[in-house]
Structure 1
Amino acid sequence: MSANKFNMTTNKSNAEDFDNDTLENAELKGRPLASYGSGSYLASDVTVLLDIVNKDAIADVPVSQKELLIQSGQRHYSDMLTLEQAPSAMHEELYEQALTQGTQRTATDIANLAYSLHHIFHQKVNSERPLVLVSLVRAGLPIGVLLQRALADANSRYSLPSAHYGISIIRDRGLDPQALQLLLERYPDSPIVFVDGWTGKGAIYQELANSLEAFSEPTHPNFANIFHQGVGTIPLLTLADPAGVAWLAASSEDWLIPSGLLNSTVSGLISRSLYTAPQSGLHRSVFYDKLIDVDHSLEFIEHINIARLQLIAPPQRLPVFDKPRYLTAVLIDMLASRYQITNRNRIKPTIAEATRAILRRDPERVLLASPDHPDTTLLRYLCAQRDIDITVLGADILPYQAVTLIKQRTTTTDS
Structure 2
Amino acid sequence: MLKWFSLVEVKELNSQIDNKIMFGSYKKEDVIFLLKDVSDFQLEGTIESREKQIQLGRHYSETLPIEYQPPASYIQLFRETLMEYKEKVALCTGIVAEQIYQLKGEDTVLVSLARAGTPVGALIKRYLKERYNKELPHYSVSIIRDRGLDENAIRYIIEKHPNKNIQFIDGWTGKGAISIELTKACQAVYEKFGIRLDDTLAVLADPGHCTTLYGTREDFLIPSACLNSTVSGLVSRTVLNCDIIGQKDFHGAKFYRELAESDLSNEYLDAITNEFPHIFVEAKQRAIQLQTRKEEANFQGMQDVLRIKEEFQIETTHYIKPGVGETTRVLLRRVPWKILMKDIESPFVKHILMLAKERNVEIVHYPEMSYTCCGLIKKVERRQ
TM-score (norm 1): 0.83
* Aligned length in residues: 363
Corresponding residue of 2:11 = 29
User: 2:114 aligned with 1:141, yes or no?
Assistant: no
Corresponding residue of 2:101 = 118
Query: Secondary structure of 1:324's partner?
Result: coil
Q: Equivalents in 1 of 2:147, 2:94: separation in Å?
A: 33
> Any idea what the Cα deviations from partners look like across 1:161-192, whole Å, max 9, x if unmatched?
41100001111111111111111111120110
Q: Which runs of 5+ in 1 are unaligned?
A: 1-26, 228-233
Corresponding residue of 1:368 = 341
Q: What pairs with 1:157-168 in structure 2 (closer than 5 Å)?
A: 158-168=132-142
Tell me how far 1:29 sits from its aligned partner: 3.1
Tell me how far 1:83 sits from its aligned partner: 2.2
> Any idea what the Cα deviations from partners look like across 1:270-320, whole Å, max 9, x if unmatched?
001111456152111111111111111111111111111344644322535
Tell me how far 1:34 sits from its aligned partner: 5.2
User: 2:65 aligned with 1:78, yes or no?
Assistant: no
User: 2:378 aligned with 1:407, yes or no?
Assistant: yes
What letter is aligned with 1:63? I
Distance 1:131 1:35, change over 3 A: farther
What letter is aligned with 1:397? M
Corresponding residue of 1:177 = 151
Query: Secondary structure of 2:306's partner?
Result: helix
| 1:149–1:305 contact (8 Å) kept in structure 2 | yes
Percent identical: 34
Query: Secondary structure of 1:105's partner?
Result: helix
Tell me how far 1:220 sits from its aligned partner: 6.1
Tell me how far 1:121 sits from its aligned partner: 2.3
Q: Equivalents in 2 of 1:220, 1:274: separation in Å?
A: 24
What letter is aligned with 1:51? K
What letter is aligned with 2:326? E
Q: Equivalents in 2 of 1:174, 1:323: separation in Å?
A: 24
Distance 1:312 1:200, change over 3 A: closer
Give the alignment partner of residue 79 of structure 2, picking from 96, 99, 121.
96
What letter is aligned with 2:87? Q
> Any idea what the Cα deviations from partners look like across 1:379-408, whole Å, max 9, x if unmatched?
1111111211110011x122x111010001
What letter is aligned with 2:29? S
> Any idea what the Cα deviations from partners look like across 1:114-155, whole Å, max 9, x if unmatched?
222222223xx4xxxx311110001001100001111122xx
Corresponding residue of 2:45 = 61
Q: Equivalents in 1 of 2:188, 2:134: separation in Å?
A: 29
| 1:188–1:222 contact (8 Å) kept in structure 2 | no
Higher RCO, 1 vs 2 (CA within 8 Å, ≥6 residues apart): 2
Comparing 270-279 and 86-95, the one that deviates more: 270-279
User: 2:258 aligned with 1:297, yes or no?
Assistant: no
TM-score (norm 2): 0.89
Give the alignment partner of residue 369 of structure 2, picking from 389, 392, 397.
397
Corresponding residue of 2:237 = 272
Corresponding residue of 2:28 = 43
Q: Which runs of 5+ in 2 are unaligned?
A: 1-8
Return structure 1 stretches of 4+ with deviation > 2 angstroms: 27-30, 32-38, 158-161, 214-217, 309-316, 318-324
The structure with more helix, counted as a fraction of residues: 2
Give the alignment partner of residue 219 of structure 2, picking from 254, 257, 263.
254
Tell me how far 1:85 sits from its aligned partner: 4.0
| 1:276–1:282 contact (8 Å) kept in structure 2 | no
User: 2:108 aligned with 1:131, yes or no?
Assistant: yes
